[in-house]
Amino acid sequence: MSCRQSNQGGSNSSSKSRAFERCKPYIAMISLQFGYAGMNVITKVSLNHGMSHYVLVVYRHAFATLSIAPFALILERKVRPKITFTMFLQIFVLALLGPVIDQNFYYAGLKFTSPTFSCAMSNMLPAMTFVMAVIFRMEKVNLKKVIYQAKILGTLVTVAGAMLMTLYKGPLVELFWTKYMHAHQATAAPVTAAAAEIADSNWVKGSIFLIIATFAWASLFILQAATLKKYTAQLTLTTLICFVGTLQAIVVTLVMERSKPAVWSIGWDMNLLAAAYAGIVTSSIAYYVQGLVIEKKGPVFASAFSPLMMIIVAIMGSFVLAENIYLGGVLGGVLIVGGLYSVLWGKYRETKENKEKAAMILPLAIEGNGRIMESKLDFVEMEKAKANNNKKISAAASVESVVVGIAQLAPEACEMKAKEEDKD
């Protein structure tokens, strides 16, 4: 009886551990979205209190460099490739695209708009990356295939959503917990026509800044993918990008804020929290955790959680910042999220097709008569493969077992034939 209970207890604990293992990627990605949301809200508070976004970029990537560098030095000391002059130029451009252009334009856009609006715009990244990949011929487009139609449609819908959010503000959307806050704001500080015109102008300007930031980040992804093929030490590459980006950001700040030396001063306040949080949490911890999730579940899985950040920021921003949410932002955000999932679906189907092709094409090397003949199995038509995926996988496994058997028997057959010839 006790043995049976102990066996049941062991099976229950093992099933719980397996369930927890399955849940870990979901918990990690949801936690990351809360971390990203916190960064947007804290940064908005810091910018509202007068911190220069140029200085914020410098301090953020200084913290990021100090956070990632020890892990890169320890974990990749044996696999770190040498840096050639060409590789240094690529790192220089990556630092210019990421820490300097992307972050400065993103923070400027965040300053002129709102955290929710900025998060919605950032969901354009997969679509923009697809466009950049097509422009640089890193991805081929076949308009007859559904997966590419989904990507193109998703990109167009995403761009339409961004244009709607930029050009149409619309009426204020009242949430049940913000109704009284908005009424109090309207009574305490009525908005004049001139102030409303300036706010609308800043909104359009901020939208353009965010679109530029997204293009810069997409360009970074494209160049980084090409760089990682030659420089495989990812942590070291990230450390170098952050370090070189910090130096570049210092130069940019000295030029843009040359008449304001006081902007460099930072104390134990919200400005320090914004820089440290963004550098340590979103540039260091988030990079590592997201890398683990991508390694286990793939990039599409990781990207699918990004709209959750927009929802979290909308709720946090309405409480912490009394943020106003407008109809144009809601409609545009819905279009952007819809386009995002269309692009991600196309990418998922493309990855699945490539895996199926790789599984079905099995090179057969048959040794005999002093020659090596290589043949490949014909790939089953994709329509049949889609309709009968399970049978195809089992057939591939059967063929693979036959190939293994042939590979094992071929040397023995050749040896027996050689012995017979010797006897003759």
pLDDT at 216 over 50: yes
By mean pLDDT, which of 99-113, 125-139, 146-160, 395-409 is the weakest?
395-409
What local confidence, expressed as pLDDT, does residue 350 receive? 85
Q: Band of the pLDDT at 347, cuts 50, 70, 90? A: confident
pLDDT at 359 over 90: no
- For the record, the structure tokens of 7 come out as 């066996």
382 vs 105, higher pLDDT: 105
132 vs 34, higher pLDDT: 34
What local confidence, expressed as pLDDT, does residue 21 receive? 83
- The sign of the CA dihedral 247, 225, 102, 307 is negative
Beta-bridge mates of residue 375: 364
Q: In this predicted model, what pLDDT tens digit does every residue of 397-415 receive, in sequence order?
A: 444 444 444 444 444 544 5
What local confidence, expressed as pLDDT, does residue 241 receive? 93
What local confidence, expressed as pLDDT, does residue 133 receive? 83
Residue burial 265-290, b: 16+ Cβ < 10 Å; e: rest = eeeeebbeebbbbbbbbbbbebbebb
- Rounded Cα distance between 26 and 386, Å, is 28
Q: Band of the pLDDT at 299, cuts 50, 70, 90? A: confident
pLDDT at 324 over 70: yes
- For the record, the structure tokens of 47 come out as 């910018």
Q: In this predicted model, what pLDDT tens digit does every residue of 65-93 receive, in sequence order?
A: 999 999 999 999 888 999 999 999 999 99
- H or E element, residue 366: strand 363-368
59 vs 166, higher pLDDT: 59
- Rounded Cα distance between 146 and 123, Å, is 22
Select from 69, 105, 74, 92 the least CA-distant residue to 287: 69
By mean pLDDT, which of 2-11, 63-72, 306-315, 349-358 is the weakest?
2-11
Q: Band of the pLDDT at 243, cuts 50, 70, 90? A: very high
pLDDT at 302 over 60: yes
What local confidence, expressed as pLDDT, does residue 5 receive? 54
Place of tokens 């949301």: 37
Considering the chain, what percentage of its residues have pLDDT values greater than 90?
31
What local confidence, expressed as pLDDT, does residue 58 receive? 96
Q: Band of the pLDDT at 396, cuts 50, 70, 90? A: very low
Select from 397, 324, 4 the least CA-distant residue to 178: 324
What local confidence, expressed as pLDDT, does residue 66 receive? 95
54, 249, 263, 279 from 253: Cα distances, Å: 5, 6, 10, 18
- Rounded Cα distance between 330 and 326, Å, is 6
- For the record, the structure tokens of 139 come out as 């991805």
Select from 325, 303, 311 the least CA-distant residue to 37: 311
In a 13 Å sphere around the CA of 422, the CA atoms on its Cβ side amount to 6
pLDDT at 422 over 60: no
What local confidence, expressed as pLDDT, does residue 110 receive? 93
Q: In this predicted model, what pLDDT tens digit does every residue of 259-277 receive, in sequence order?
A: 888 899 888 889 999 999 9
State the average pLDDT over residues 216-228. Answer: 86
Q: In this predicted model, what pLDDT tens digit does every residue of 138-190 receive, in sequence order?
A: 777 888 889 889 999 999 999 899 888 888 888 888 766 565 555 555 454 55
DSSP structure string for 284-346: IIHHHHHHHHHHHH-HHHHHTTHHHHHHHHHHHHHHHS---EEHHHHHHHHHHHHHHHHHHHH
- H or E element, residue 367: strand 363-368
- For the record, the structure tokens of 228 come out as 């990682």
Q: Considering the chain, what is the average pLDDT of its residues?
A: 79
